[in-house]
């Protein structure tokens, strides 16, 4: 069996929420979830732009007086007052009410089949390289197979039904919204929602016999195809262009677009034969011991496949459920950018998926006017302030939680992704027209927000998501969401993001000449950012204030930003400070983690060169929150002590994408002055091969053997002059012209 195919030996089985363990398909616009049931199958369809509920809230009232009062309370050390009379409270008191939208399913394709005996040899799975799912089983010596994909070429779902002999299936389609109109013939079904926002059309093609029964069609045949087009907000429902084509022809057009994205980077960690086990078997092995190289490779491939399936250059960026929300009203289903959006995209540039970043930029840049209003009305500042929570039509402060409303680093953190896109692609047009203007807006806010006291900048309120200082845990300000005292001062993350943003902005000004008359202000502010502080444990402090003690029992690791996801502090640039960041990571407590924090922690360990610890985070993920479908849930519902122990267990796919990045950074890391090969390889990855991993200005291929030999080939797209590190040891200087390549071999 190909390493590109993952299989399961059981259908989805999470009680009443089978979608959690369904097979995911998608093309960035339409998403599909296939549970794999034999007798009564319900295949869920989603669209990227189907959201409802929520409210923008209208004009934001001026609450700058409350903001100033919070500052005054913090200045006198009264954190209780600062957090009780916070910005979200002021908005409510002035009648402002806003809430984010939630995505909802378009509907379900329902198949009813009566088995004539007991099934045997059930398998379901996905060929990730082609984006095609399958469900197959045997009854009475007859082999039944369903194959399905969602076309990137024509934005339709195509389902092929086949068996060794003719069989009968009853078909219908149920819309999530109330059905308005239904049109049924012996070969088609058309349903339109009463609100006009969604519709679905089915067309049965092939040598079949049909019978209309109410709102369903009974189809009898041995091998036929069903075309399904889902429409949202009036998008086309036509199937005429594709109805005369064979399944294989339509699949070929789809794979011509899907497969090059999947193949852009390849990682092989498992030996031949090690990728044969099903997902369940791999998870059982990891539960009993540790994640195998085959499971780590499959998790990387699955997360990469899932991301590609969630992103189109014509669609919305990836929210926490991607295109696979199997129910309405799911928690944290929006764009949550105090960790989760960023984690979703960490792997994209190195993984050769640069096409995915412009839709993210367009999503946020399109809301600039609202973000400016937020900055002005809430803080009295220029530039933009972005709420951690947004949805397609809601950009204001829409979650009434202080830890969200008081946090100021969202825009700056997002700018990291946009700047990284420029570094990798060299797209100076997008830099000048879209990226740098957005960065400038974010930087203006920081320039106004930071106050200078005795030549040093001061930030307050300043939140370290979503933590509370150990000095403030006993204050009577705990909110309904458990965040006791989020508004403090000088969060390490805030200064790290500000420093990174100003540094990159100044470089962008140098390249484009834009905003050159303001460069002096940003340069001066950059020089007044205080140094990171070390606590009595020898660890970097989470708040750069002696009176604010650290709190190690928390899932967020925001203050490690200068090491990861940033690259400001490395073992080479500042060894002593680097070790203080390492200490801060080691002091974090295991039982307070969740799915995404485990993959975040893995990436941090990668940056620290601790491959065994990074692999252990993947082990914990597999033991606690990784479902057979390879979807991840927030916390372990089995109470094994490895994660937060919450009653609710929501799906969160950001951890899957975070795992892709964690695996990539075990094997390769780009730094400003070096390409680092195998910087954090755990011992269990005895041998392997990587092809196409991207870095700014080129790509790299390398392989390693069990005896320790390493071969590296560097391809330069632009002129390149950099160090090469192998296993964290300097291996030479690379000097290549544009279009040149160099291969180097290193014995054990």
For 300-333, write each residue's pLDDT tens digit. Answer: 999 999 999 999 999 999 999 999 999 999 998 9
Asked whether the predicted pLDDT for residue 360 surpasses 80, the reply is yes
Q: What is the pLDDT of residue 139?
A: 97
For the full predicted model, state whether its pTM sits above 0.85. Answer: yes
How far apart are the C-alpha atoms of 622 and 631, rounded to whole Å?
11
How far apart are the C-alpha atoms of 748 and 741, rounded to whole Å?
23
Identify the weakest region by mean pLDDT among 119-133, 134-148, 351-365, 403-417: 403-417
For 249-285, write each residue's pLDDT tens digit. Answer: 999 999 999 999 999 999 999 998 899 999 999 999 9
How far apart are the C-alpha atoms of 136 and 120, rounded to whole Å?
10
Query: Please, which pLDDT band fits residue 483 given cuts at 50, 70 and 90?
Result: low
Write down all domains in the chain, each with its CATH number in brackets: 5-51+102-260 (2.70.98.50), 61-95+311-588 (1.50.10.10)
- How high does pLDDT run on average in the chain? 94
Cβ atoms of 456 and 528 closer than 8 Å: yes
Q: What is the pLDDT of residue 88?
A: 87
Query: Please, which pLDDT band fits residue 1 given cuts at 50, 70 and 90?
Result: low
For 33-85, write each residue's pLDDT tens digit. Answer: 999 999 999 999 999 999 999 988 889 999 999 999 999 999 999 988 888 87
Backbone region of residue 57 per phi and psi (left: phi > 0; alpha: psi in -120 to 50; beta: other values): left
Helix, strand and coil content of the chain, in percent to the nearest 5, comes to 30, 25, 40
Query: Please, which pLDDT band fits residue 590 given cuts at 50, 70 and 90?
Result: low
Q: What is the pLDDT of residue 82?
A: 87
How far apart are the C-alpha atoms of 105 and 95, rounded to whole Å?
32
Ranges 93-102, 258-267, 641-650, most confident = 258-267
Higher pLDDT, 641 or 424: 424
Q: What's CA 207's distance to the chain center, in Å?
A: 43
Query: Please, which pLDDT band fits residue 480 given cuts at 50, 70 and 90?
Result: very low
Q: What is the pLDDT of residue 478?
A: 56
Cβ atoms of 656 and 630 closer than 8 Å: yes
In this prediction, residues 92-111 reach a mean pLDDT of 94
Q: What is the pLDDT of residue 350?
A: 98
Q: What is the pLDDT of residue 591?
A: 59
For 441-463, write each residue's pLDDT tens digit. Answer: 999 999 999 999 999 999 999 99
DSSP track, 539-564: SB-SBSSTTS----S-S--GGGTTTT
Identify the weakest region by mean pLDDT among 235-244, 297-306, 625-634, 708-717: 235-244
Query: Please, which pLDDT band fits residue 481 given cuts at 50, 70 and 90?
Result: very low
Asked whether the predicted pLDDT for residue 113 surpasses 50, the reply is yes
Selection from 500, 317, 505, 529 nearest residue 413 by Cα: 500
Residue ranges with strand state E in 154-305: 157-175, 179-185, 188-193, 198-213, 216-232, 266-268
Query: Please, which pLDDT band fits residue 235 given cuts at 50, 70 and 90?
Result: confident
Q: What is the pLDDT of residue 84?
A: 83
Asked whether the predicted pLDDT for residue 714 surpasses 70, the reply is yes
Query: Please, which pLDDT band fits residue 743 given cuts at 50, 70 and 90?
Result: very high
């Amino acid at each position: 069996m190909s390493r590109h195919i993952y299989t399961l030996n059981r259908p989805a089985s999470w009680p009443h929420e089978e979608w959690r363990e369904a097979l995911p398909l998608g093309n960035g616009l339409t998403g599909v979830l296939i549970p794999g049931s034999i007798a009564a199958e319900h295949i869920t369809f989603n669209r990227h732009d189907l959201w409802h509920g929520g409210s923008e809230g209208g004009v934001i009232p001026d609450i700058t007086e409350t903001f100033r009062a919070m500052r005054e309370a913090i200045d006198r050390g009264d954190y209780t007052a600062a957090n009780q009379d916070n910005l979200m409270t002021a908005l409510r008191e002035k009648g402002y009410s806003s809430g984010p939208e939630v995505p909802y399913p378009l509907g379900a394709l329902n198949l009813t089949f009566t088995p004539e005996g007991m099934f045997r040899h059930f398998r379901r799975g996905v060929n990730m390289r082609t984006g095609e799912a399958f469900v197959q089983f045997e009854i009475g010596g007859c082999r039944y197979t369903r194959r399905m994909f969602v076309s990137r070429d024509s934005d339709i779902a195509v389902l092929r039904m086949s068996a060794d002999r003719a069989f009968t299936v009853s078909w219908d389609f149920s819309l999530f919204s109330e059905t308005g109109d239904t049109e049924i013939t012996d070969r088609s079904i058309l349903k339109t929602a009463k609100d006009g926002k969604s519709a679905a059309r089915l067309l049965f093609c092939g040598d079949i016999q049909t019978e209309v029964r109410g709102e369903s069609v009974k189809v009898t045949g041995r091998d036929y195809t069903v075309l399904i087009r889902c429409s949202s907000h009036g998008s086309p429902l036509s199937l005429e262009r594709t109805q005369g084509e064979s399944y294989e022809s339509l699949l070929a057009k789809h794979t011509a677009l899907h497969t090059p994205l999947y193949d852009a980077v390849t990682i092989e960690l498992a030996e031949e034969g090690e990728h044969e086990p099903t997902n369940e078997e791999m998870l059982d092995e990891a539960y009993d011991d540790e994640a195998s190289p085959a499971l780590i490779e499959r998790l990387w491939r699955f997360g990469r496949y899932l991301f590609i399936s969630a992103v189109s250059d014509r669609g919305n960026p990836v929210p926490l459920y991607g295109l696979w929300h199997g129910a309405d009203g799911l928690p944290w289903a929006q764009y949550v950018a105090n960790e989760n959006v960023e984690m979703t995209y960490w792997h994209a540039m190195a993984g050769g998926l640069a096409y995915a970043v412009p839709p993210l930029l367009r999503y946020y840049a399109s809301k600039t006017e609202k973000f400016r209003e937020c900055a002005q009305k809430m803080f009295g500042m220029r530039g933009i302030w972005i709420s951690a929570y947004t949805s397609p039509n809601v950009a204001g402060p829409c979650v009434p939680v202080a830890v969200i409303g008081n946090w100021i680093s969202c825009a700056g953190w997002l700018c990291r992704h946009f700047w990284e896109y420029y570094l990798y692609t060299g797209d100076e047009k997008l830099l000048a027209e879209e990226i740098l203007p957005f960065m400038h807006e974010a930087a203006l806010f920081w320039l106004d927000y930071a106050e200078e006291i005795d030549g040093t900048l001061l930030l307050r309120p300043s939140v370290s998501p979503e933590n509370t200082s150990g000095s403030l845990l006993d204050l009577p300000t705990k909110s309904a969401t458990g965040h006791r005292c989020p508004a403090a001062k000088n969060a390490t993350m805030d200064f790290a993001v500000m420093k990174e943003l100003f540094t990159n902005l100044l470089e962008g000004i140098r390249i484009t000449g834009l905003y050159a008359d303001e460069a002096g202000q940003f340069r001066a502010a950059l020089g007044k950012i205080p140094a990171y502080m070390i606590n009595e444990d020898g660890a970097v402090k989470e708040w750069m204030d002696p009176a604010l003690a650290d709190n190690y029992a928390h899932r967020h690791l925001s203050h490690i930003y200068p090491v990861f996801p940033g690259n400001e502090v490395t073992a080479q640039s500042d060894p002593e400070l680097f070790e203080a960041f390492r200490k801060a990571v080691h002091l974090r407590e295991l039982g307070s983690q969740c799915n995404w924090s485990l993959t975040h922690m893995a990436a941090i360990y990668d940056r620290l060169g601790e491959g065994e610890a990074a692999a252990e985070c993947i082990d914990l993920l597999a033991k606690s929150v990784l479902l057979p479908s390879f979807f991840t849930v927030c916390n372990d519902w089995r109470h094994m002590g490895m994660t937060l122990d919450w009653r609710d267990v929501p799906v969160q796919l950001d951890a899957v994408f975070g795992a892709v990045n964690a695996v990539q950074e075990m094997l390769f890391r780009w730094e400003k002055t070096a390409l680092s090969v195998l910087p954090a390889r755990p011992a269990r990855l005895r041998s392997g091969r990587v092809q196409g991993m991207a870095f700014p200005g080129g790509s790299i291929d390398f392989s390693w053997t069990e005896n320790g030999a390493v071969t590296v080939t560097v391809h330069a797209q632009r002129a390149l002059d950099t160090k090469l590190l192998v296993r964290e040891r300097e291996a030479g200087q690379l000097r290549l012209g544009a279009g040149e390549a160099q291969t180097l071999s290193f014995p054990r």
